[in-house]
Chains A and B, each alone.
Chain A
Amino acid sequence: MRKITLSKAVNEALAEEMRHDETVIILGEDVAEAGTPFKVLSGLVEEFGTERVIDTPISEPGFMGIGVGAAMTGMRPVVDLMFGDFIFLIMDQLCNQAAKTHYMSGGKLNVPLVLRTNMGATRRSAAQHSQSLHAIVAHIPGLKVAMPSSAYEAKGLLKTAIRDDNPVVIFEDKLMYQDSAEVPEEEYSIPFGEACIKREGTDITLIGTSSMVQVCEKAAEMLQAEGISAEVIDPRTIVPLDEKTLVESAKKTGRVIVVDEGHQSFGVTSEIASRINEQAFYHLDAPTTRIGAMDVPIPFSPALEDITVPTPERVFEQAKKLVSGELINAA
């Protein structure tokens, strides 16, 4: 099968959906001729014109609000937020307006909007361009949250997001735009709420989101060399969350580590670990543990930044402790 980059996969998904449905438009800063700083959208304005690939001023709340209004009245806007960190600028439009409109109207109004943005540290972008803020969005009922872990997921999930009648926030890891993966030539989409078992195993379950799936897969390789069989699962969407697949795996292996690049406290790792605890407790042979980004703003210095995020080595070490039955936090 052909291999394409995540950037190209996103571009293809947008192009395909814009060809299928003329209500699909793109709104955001430097989305047209510039094709965004990551060049993800290059070529789209040439095919679809400036009426559908719309450059906006640097007014995040403004173009997000316009996106919400356009979505409520018949368009399917894909709002491009250049950096995930800017989500804090649009919180009212995203969380007070888009997320609640369907509910507040008793089901009469829909907001079929996609907010495409990114996440991920270690790009030396410092504290305001490196955050992974998906947990903050996932906390708000009414929003769906997708986290592709490769080019394949990026394309399939974005196509589903565009066709969804609800507001969907999709977080792409900005360090993965140039990573290639096998992506079919023919069209496909990936349903929301279906986790993907990336690797089967029997001794421990590693649950990873976005780029942390690769971290878990690398850790699983290292564990295999030690004779430990690790299962790797990618939830793909955290809202809705495929709880069943995660819990079944936890019951099977009896040990779970949840890995996510958001800050560890009050985050996705906590939520998933808690659900596993609630639903698989009597099958657990070790405490379910979390590995998230350190609870510090992302520092600039490479020497500091690299230690803030989860690594395959940390996952490997933690997994070994759990499988060996070492006493963890029992004092």
Chain B
Amino acid sequence: MSNAKKKVSADDALRMFRQMVRIRTFENNANQLYLSAKMPGLTHMYSGEEAVAVGICEALLPTDKITSTHRGHGHCVAKGADFKAMFCELLGKEEGYCRGKGGSMHIADQSNGNLGANAIVGGSLGIATGAALTSKLKKTGDVAVCFFGDGATAQGLMYEVMNMAALWKLPVIYACENNGYSEYTKTEEIAAGSITARAEAFGIESHQVDGQDVIAVNELSRTLVDRARKGEGPFFLELMTYRYHGHHVGDINREYYRAKSEEEDWRENRDPIIRMRAWLIENKYATEAELDELSKEVTEDAEAAVAYALDAPYPDVSEVDMHVYTDIEHVLA
């Protein structure tokens, strides 16, 4: 754990801890909803990668933009989303962030600058870069962060937009969450050379950071976000992390591509929440009892949100042809 006590206030540290616990708790509930056949569709768990989303989003302002991925619940929570509207969206309910039209893989929360999760791997690289172009042209000072996985580095779009972002010095941070697996395949089998070298080829300043260390991620992010605001962007981050679950919830038997012992090692020895908890206690920012109380609060909050979402109404069927166009209320009317 970074020895960064002086730079991180107790408030900041505790907020980051709480946000990581919120993500983990959200995912545990989402997993349970899915396994108990209460949640339709398909979902991808962020558990294990919490320090990445929280470390970065805690360095951003609400007006800063992010784009997210199919494994996007963590980014959404970290950027300030509300449990109730998220669970409602996961269950396809009217009160969901997207009125039930997006679901797990398309949650967007524009009130907090989340331009949406994207079910096309690498699909949002252009969108984040475009948001940075807006910031530069309108001089808003906003920074855009593009979250994507190691798998997305195989998409050609990434090279096209990094090229333009570097040419035009756009305030965008490409945050590559390297969890070691591109769906069901080891990253080393799909990526030649080094990940960071890809960005360096465009002259983009790149960093590799321990994605299980929220303090380290946050500290680096604060620096880069400030510099991007000043026009020193773009930047590229490779965050070394791990997903505890399979590629998706149903990916249970995965020993053909990943050993159980490896999973146990990450869970037991590199878990970002366990590490942060120890760090908080060690630095006397909180007591065991206080952190237990915090976790309990979050659990209750999540359970209440789940219960609320389960009881919430589905959208009226008349909504099916709404929101196709901004200016045509019912496109099929």
Q: Hey, which bits of chain A sit against chain B, CB under 8 A?
A: 23, 25, 51-52, 54, 56-57, 59, 61-75, 77, 92-93, 96-97, 101-110, 141-142, 144, 164-166, 240
Q: Mark B125-143, 1 if CB is under 8 A from A, else 0.
A: 1111111111101100010
Q: Hey, which bits of chain B sit against chain A, CB under 8 A?
A: 65, 67, 96-102, 106, 108, 110, 115-116, 118, 120, 123-135, 137-138, 142, 144, 156-157, 160-161, 163-164, 167-168, 322-328, 331
Cα distance A68–B133 when bound, in Å?
Answer: 11
With both beta carbons as reference points, the residue of chain A lying nearest to B118 in the complex is identified as A97
Contact call A142/B325, Cβ cutoff below 8 A: yes
Contact call B130/A69, Cβ cutoff below 8 A: yes
Contact call B134/A166, Cβ cutoff below 8 A: no
Question: Which A-B residue pairs are the 8 nearest by beta carbons?
Answer: A65-B126, A69-B130, A62-B160, A106-B99, A59-B160, A69-B127, A106-B98, A107-B323
Determine which residue in A54, A66, A77, A240 has the highest number of CB atoms from chain B within 10 A of its CB, and name it: A66
Cα distance A61–B126 when bound, in Å?
Answer: 8
Contact call A96/B328, Cβ cutoff below 8 A: no
Contact call B108/A141, Cβ cutoff below 8 A: no
Contact call A65/B161, Cβ cutoff below 8 A: yes
Give the residue of B123, B126, B131 whose beta carbon is less than 8 angstroms from that of A62. B126
Contact call B101/A104, Cβ cutoff below 8 A: yes
Contact call A96/B123, Cβ cutoff below 8 A: yes
Given contacts A92-B123, A105-B116, contact A73 B131 (CB under 8 A): yes
Contact call A65/B325, Cβ cutoff below 8 A: no
What residues on B are CB-neighbors of A74 within 8 Å?
Answer: 134, 138
Q: How far is the CB of A149 from chain B (nearest CB, A)?
A: 23
Give the residue of B127, B156, B163, B326 whose beta carbon is less than 8 angstroms from that of A68. B127
Contact call B325/A108, Cβ cutoff below 8 A: no
What residues on B are CB-neighbors of A62 within 8 Å?
Answer: 126, 129, 157, 160-161, 163-164
Contact call B164/A66, Cβ cutoff below 8 A: yes
Contact call A69/B134, Cβ cutoff below 8 A: yes
With both beta carbons as reference points, the residue of chain A lying nearest to B96 in the complex is identified as A106
Contact call B100/A69, Cβ cutoff below 8 A: no
With both beta carbons as reference points, the residue of chain B lying nearest to A107 in the complex is identified as B323
What residues on B are CB-neighbors of A101 within 8 Å?
Answer: 108, 116
With both beta carbons as reference points, the residue of chain A lying nearest to B101 in the complex is identified as A106
Contact call A106/B137, Cβ cutoff below 8 A: no
Additional 12 contacts, C-beta under 8 A, given A69-B126, A70-B131, A106-B97: A25-B137, A62-B163, A66-B130, A66-B133, A66-B164, A67-B130, A70-B130, A73-B130, A75-B137, A105-B106, A108-B108, A109-B110
Contact call A110/B160, Cβ cutoff below 8 A: no
What residues on A are CB-neighbors of B135 within 8 Å?
Answer: 73
Cα distance A90–B157 when bound, in Å?
Answer: 10
Cα distance A177–B160 when bound, in Å?
Answer: 30
Cα distance A92–B155 when bound, in Å?
Answer: 12
Cα distance A63–B163 when bound, in Å?
Answer: 11
With both beta carbons as reference points, the residue of chain A lying nearest to B321 in the complex is identified as A141
Q: How far is the CB of A56 from chain B (nearest CB, A)?
A: 6
With both beta carbons as reference points, the residue of chain A lying nearest to B117 in the complex is identified as A104
With both beta carbons as reference points, the residue of chain A lying nearest to B331 in the complex is identified as A141
Contact call A93/B324, Cβ cutoff below 8 A: no
What residues on A are CB-neighbors of B124 within 8 Å?
Answer: 69, 97
Q: How far is the CB of A121 from chain B (nearest CB, A)?
A: 29
Contact call A104/B65, Cβ cutoff below 8 A: no
Contact call A73/B324, Cβ cutoff below 8 A: no
Cα distance A68–B134 when bound, in Å?
Answer: 11
Cα distance A59–B106 when bound, in Å?
Answer: 26
Give the residue of A77, A109, A240 whose beta carbon is less than 8 angstroms from that of B328. A240
With both beta carbons as reference points, the residue of chain A lying nearest to B99 in the complex is identified as A106
Q: How far is the CB of B73 from chain A (nearest CB, A)?
A: 16
Contact call B116/A109, Cβ cutoff below 8 A: yes
Cα distance A107–B98 when bound, in Å?
Answer: 7
Contact call B126/A144, Cβ cutoff below 8 A: no
Cα distance A127–B157 when bound, in Å?
Answer: 25
Cα distance A307–B305 when bound, in Å?
Answer: 65
What residues on B are CB-neighbors of A69 within 8 Å?
Answer: 67, 115, 124, 126-134, 144
